[in-house]
A and B are shown apart, each in its own frame.
Chain A
Amino acid sequence: MLMSKTDAQIDDVQLVARLKKRDRSALEELVQVHGAKMYGVALQFMRNETDAREVMQDALVSIWNKIASFEGKSAFTSWIYRVTANAGLMALRKKKRHENDISLDAVGSDDDDAPLPALQLSDKKPLPDKIVMTGELGEQVRAAIDQLPEPYRVAVLLRDVEELPMAEVMQETGLTEPALKSRLHRARLALREALLPYLKGQDIQKS
């Protein structure tokens, strides 16, 4: 049964209160209620279930340790997804698994105006509206994001998927503002190019 937004918000308030009282069962409830979205965030960063699980574990520890600093200025859900995204970013740094990605050097510097290499999607033909509505579009979008070189993928995930403020993304990634903007812009252009058939039928002009 679907809960109304108000009920969900009330439940989150109670969940936060229990976490602040160091009620460990509240963490289990958090997994039950918000685990799916946390898993989505972790999976998009790590690309496999095993690493995503480690990210979720790290995120749960962070939530437990930092819950006292949560003041309720933002929605609790936004906060835990940010914590999860941050755990994903930390895990990527730790892992340093760039062997399957195109390195930043290989695609040019952040000041370079050259577009990223074309992303290869399974089918770039325009989709009928009915199919677009059923989730195939989502698969294509995620496939396109997944093919971005890691530094660009991280910028897109933090800024455009999670919608973190630019200042926060700069802080998380350690990038300067011009570098982040350049990276984000190039990633968006690469995604746009890959997703053109899905953006608006056949009428969209290519750059």
Chain B
Amino acid sequence: MSMKLIKDLWKRLLRPDACSHTKKLLFEFVEGELTPETHHKLEKHIGTCPPCLDYVNSYRRTIVMTHHHGLPEEPMPPALKQKLCEFIKQNPDLK
């Protein structure tokens, strides 16, 4: 995102359509990629706008949930463990 675009967005953050900027800058906001000034302005808006707060929080929680639950919790089949051990013993690349 160019500096000019960020500055333009920053200037408009306190206008009534600030909610649209929450969506536009959501990724950069959550990833901490905005300038401190822009981040602060957006944070200020989000703090006073319940729908934006819910939106940002649900996006953040999605990332957290994805991280915590993204991998299968089922155990490795015992037969697979056995096959891998045989693979290790027999594979010529593992010398």
Contact = CB atoms under 8 A, between A and B. Distances in A.
Contacts of B88: 24, 27-28, 31, 60
B66 A191 contact: yes
Contacts of A189: 59
Interface string B51-95: 100110111011101111111111111001101110111010111
Contact of B66 (A32, A36, A37, A160): A160
B94 to A, nearest CB: 5
Contact of A43 (B61, B72, B83): B72
A141 B81 contact: no
A22 B71 CA distance: 30
A40 interface: yes
Contacts of B71: 37, 40-41, 43-44, 142, 161
Contacts, number: 121
Contacts of B57: 200, 204
A27 B70 CA distance: 26
Contacts of A207: 23, 55
Contacts of B31: 166
A185 B27 contact: yes
Given A61-B94, A141-B70, A205-B55, 17 more contacts: A24-B94, A32-B81, A36-B76, A43-B71, A44-B70, A49-B80, A53-B80, A60-B84, A137-B69, A138-B73, A142-B69, A145-B70, A188-B63, A191-B66, A198-B65, A199-B65, A207-B23
Nearest to B50: A205
B9 interface: no
Interface of A: 22, 24, 27-28, 31-32, 35-37, 39-41, 43-44, 49, 53, 56-57, 60-61, 64-65, 135, 137-138, 141-142, 145, 156-157, 160-161, 163, 166, 181, 184-185, 188-189, 191-192, 195-196, 198-200, 203-205, 207
A49 B77 contact: yes
A53 to B, nearest CB: 6
A132 to B, nearest CB: 10
